[in-house]
């Protein structure tokens, strides 16, 4: 298959890990006979520095014409004091909104070799496999423009959703549960927020259309607690934008590190933007120690969700698992024993594992 892929490395470690994903995709392309063409564009602080805007028109156009988009991360101290509309984060929010990428899928499934990398007990995290579905283009992130009033002493942020925005993400939650273990946890704050009461109403109405899916409602505070005390009781979690942002960083603890989590931001036609869940990690940027696995796993999600390349995606995930089995770990993974490596070496190990698979697959096909 021929695919045009836009690369948006962004800032901080985003720039350091994008190359890892590109090399892995090139290896997959040559093994499976695909042709991936990469076009790199600016976003976030990088775009502010070059074009005085976090989301240049040229970047938007390129993304609109692409088969899929890979993004590293945006943000950093250098741009923290800029006005809200000029911050790097505005670039990321802008591209999500412009492309209509309303469904953010954040799978939280630990790799077996990392069971002891989590600060949580193995007995607690054993067997947990969660898909967090976060609404991505509404809520507090996209209400009326925030404003300061009373000489800067009062502030207003607005949370707004249209019924249709809730319905489509809740449908996605039910449909994803049907493809997994038929259990949906809807997370809200219906004891306080009107938006959550409407959300809960819709979940209850929709549940009649999906009688095979069991539904659990949790208030977000209790959900945060249950996520780390009984993580293996969850299957699919569906929630609004801000709750999903917070809960997914929390859930990353189950996997050993935020650096392990990939994500897909998609709409109904399969076009998607794929990025690790973490940010630009300014505290470690420039040191060559960032974990590239969340980025590499995001590339695997791109192959699976946007291109329907299941075998190729599986192969990347196996190569990552093998690297961890072989004892390689980056500094963010608090494992005992093993071989501590940086971004470059971890990438090479994954590439070597892919090559080994490619060779053994071709030997198998000779003998079949």
- Provide the annotated active-site residues: 141, 189, 221, 245, 249
Tell me if 193 sits within 8 A of 159, measured CB to CB: yes
**What gap in Å lies between CA 84 and CA 267, rounded to an integer?**
26
Within 73-112, the residues that bind ligand IPM by CB under 6 A are 75, 89, 92-93
> What does 93 bind: ligand NAD, ligand IPM, Mn ion, none (CB cut-off 5 to 8 Å by kind)?
ligand IPM
In the bound complex, what is the minimum distance in angstroms from residue 139's beta carbon to ligand IPM? 10
Tell me if 67 contacts Mn ion by CB under 5 A: no
Among 110, 138, 244, 279, binds ligand NAD (CB under 6 A): 279
Among 143, 282, 327, 338, binds ligand NAD (CB under 6 A): 282
Residue 61: both structure tokens together: 């156009």
**What gap in Å lies between CA 193 and CA 171, rounded to an integer?**
21
Tell me if 135 contacts Mn ion by CB under 5 A: no
In the bound complex, what is the minimum distance in angstroms from residue 289's beta carbon to ligand NAD? 7
Within 272-301, the residues that bind ligand IPM by CB under 6 A are 277, 279
**What gap in Å lies between CA 271 and CA 130, rounded to an integer?**
23
> What does 176 bind: Mn ion, ligand NAD, ligand IPM, none (CB cut-off 5 to 8 Å by kind)?
none
Within 226-265, the residues that bind Mn ion by CB under 5 A are 245
**What gap in Å lies between CA 230 and CA 233, rounded to an integer?**
6
Residue nearest to ligand IPM (CB): 89
In the bound complex, what is the minimum distance in angstroms from residue 291's beta carbon to ligand IPM? 16
CB-nearer residue toward ligand NAD: 274 or 307: 274
In the bound complex, what is the minimum distance in angstroms from residue 327's beta carbon to ligand NAD? 18
Tell me if 283 contacts ligand NAD by CB under 6 A: yes
Max distance between CA atoms of the chain, in angstroms, equals: 77
Alpha helices (runs of H) in 306-335, residue ranges in sequence order: 310-325
CB-nearer residue toward ligand IPM: 293 or 335: 293
Tell me if 91 contacts ligand NAD by CB under 6 A: no
Within 320-349, the residues that bind ligand NAD by CB under 6 A are 332
Tell me if 297 sits within 8 A of 316, measured CB to CB: yes
Tell me if 317 contacts ligand IPM by CB under 6 A: no
Instruction: Give the contacts of 230 (CB within 8 A, at least 6 positions apart).
Output: 124
Tell me if 73 contacts ligand NAD by CB under 6 A: yes
CB-nearer residue toward ligand IPM: 265 or 353: 265
Query: E strands along 229-356, which residues?
Result: 236-239, 262-266, 272-276, 328-329, 339-340
User: Of 350, 300, 299, 345, nearest to 323 (Cα)?
Assistant: 350
In the bound complex, what is the minimum distance in angstroms from residue 1's beta carbon to Mn ion? 31
Residue 111: both structure tokens together: 């790799």
In the bound complex, what is the minimum distance in angstroms from residue 21's beta carbon to Mn ion? 19
CB-nearer residue toward ligand NAD: 170 or 260: 260
- Angle between helices 220-229 and 241-251 in degrees, nearest 10: 20
Q: How far is CA 291 from CA 75, 318, 343, in A?
A: 17, 17, 6
Among 245, 312, 315, 332, binds ligand IPM (CB under 6 A): 245
CB-nearer residue toward ligand IPM: 48 or 93: 93
Tell me if 259 contacts ligand NAD by CB under 6 A: yes
CB-nearer residue toward ligand NAD: 195 or 239: 239
Q: What angle do CA 363, 366, 368 make, to 5 degrees?
A: 110
Instruction: Give the contacts of 187 (CB within 8 A, at least 6 positions apart).
Output: 218, 219, 220, 223, 237, 238, 239, 243, 244, 247
**What gap in Å lies between CA 92 and CA 69, rounded to an integer?**
12
Catalog residues that contact ligand IPM under the rule CB under 6 A: 75, 89, 92-93, 245, 277, 279
Catalog residues that contact ligand NAD under the rule CB under 6 A: 13, 73-76, 89, 92, 258-259, 275, 278-284, 290-291, 294, 332
């Amino acid at each position: 298959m021929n695919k045009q892929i836009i690369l948006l490395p962004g800032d901080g470690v985003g720039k350091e890990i994008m190359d890892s994903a590109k090399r892995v995709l090139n290896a997959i392309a040559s093994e499976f006979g695909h042709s991936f063409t990469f076009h790199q564009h600016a976003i976030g602080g990088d775009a502010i520095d070059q074009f005085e805007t976090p989301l240049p028109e040229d970047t938007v156009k390129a993304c609109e014409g692409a088969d899929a988009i890979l993004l590293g991360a945006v943000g950093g101290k250098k741009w923290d004091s800029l006005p809200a509309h000029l911050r790097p984060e505005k670039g990321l929010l802008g591209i999500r909104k412009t492309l209509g990428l309303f469904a953010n899928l954040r799978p939280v499934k630990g790799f077996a070799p990392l069971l002891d990398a989590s600060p949580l007990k193995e007995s607690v995290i054993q067997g947990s496999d969660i898909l967090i579905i976060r609404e991505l283009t509404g809520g507090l992130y996209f209400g009326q423009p925030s404003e300061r009033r009373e000489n800067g002493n009062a502030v207003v942020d607005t949370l707004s959703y249209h019924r249709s925005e809730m319905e489509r993400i809740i449908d996605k939650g039910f449909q994803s549960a049907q493809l997994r273990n038929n259990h949906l946890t809807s997370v809200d704050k219906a004891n306080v927020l009107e938006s959550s009461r409407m959300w809960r109403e819709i979940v209850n109405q929709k549940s009649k259309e999906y009688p095979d899916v069991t539904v659990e409602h949790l208030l977000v505070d209790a959900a945060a607690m249950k996520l780390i005390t009984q993580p293996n009781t969850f299957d699919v979690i569906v929630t609004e934008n801000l709750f999903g942002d917070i809960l997914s960083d929390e859930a990353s603890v189950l996997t050993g590190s935020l650096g392990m989590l990939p994500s897909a931001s998609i709409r109904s036609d399969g076009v998607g933007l794929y990025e690790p869940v973490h940010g630009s990690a300014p505290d470690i940027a420039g040191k060559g120690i960032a974990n590239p696995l969340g980025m590499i796993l995001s590339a695997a999600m791109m192959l699976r969700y946007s291109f329907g390349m299941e075998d190729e995606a599986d192969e990347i995930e196996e190569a990552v698992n093998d690297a961890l089995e072989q004892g390689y770990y980056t500094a963010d993974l608090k494992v005992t024993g093993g071989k501590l490596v940086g971004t470059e070496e971890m990438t090479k190990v994954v590439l070597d594992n892919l090559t080994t698979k490619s060779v053994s697959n071709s030997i198998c096909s000779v003998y079949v």
